[in-house]
Amino acid sequence: MSDEKKPFNNPFGALQGKLADLPQAKEQPKKGPARAVVRMERKSRGGKEVTLVEQLDLPAKTLYLWLKALKESLGCGGAIEGGSLVLQGDQRPRVARRAQGHRRLRADLGRNEPPSMLE
């Protein structure tokens, strides 16, 4: 055997010259902040009111951290159900106020907004 290195067999080596012929990828437009839907629900909960924060599109760990922060700041219980945050009680105006200061979240209240005296 000689000290010369044998060329490595690269099955994709022939394709290297064809890279210039491929179309270039289009730039993706920048996304705005995530738009969360904040709504109240009583259905299937024994008449108890809960606030749902949906459509966050966040990883599970980040959802958990957000839930923990919301529970501490609002002083209520909560859980994660299928990618949504569930907070005990009607917390819609308070969650919306918390979301205003956050740069990655914009909250839309559900159709039936609570009376202003609850704020």
Query: How far is 113 from 92, CA to CA, in rounded Å?
Result: 8
Give me the half-sphere count of Cα atoms (radius 13 Å) on the Cβ side of residue 80: 17
Query: How far is 117 from 10, CA to CA, in rounded Å?
Result: 71
pLDDT of residue 75: 92
pLDDT of residue 1: 52
Q: Give the residues across from 52 on adjacent strands.
A: 39, 86
pLDDT of residue 45: 82
pLDDT of residue 119: 39
**Region class of 46: left (phi > 0), else alpha (psi between -120 and 50), else beta:** left
Give this prediction's pTM: 0.61
Give me the half-sphere count of Cα atoms (radius 13 Å) on the Cβ side of residue 68: 6
- Superfamily of domain covering 34-112: SUI1-like domain (3.30.780.10)
pLDDT of residue 80: 94
95 closest CA partner among 116, 115, 69, 117: 69
pLDDT of residue 95: 86
pLDDT of residue 71: 92
pLDDT of residue 117: 36
Q: Where are the domains of the chain?
A: 34-112
pLDDT of residue 8: 72
Mean pLDDT per 10-residue segment, the chain (119 residues):
66 79 78 73 85 85 90 92 91 83 63 45
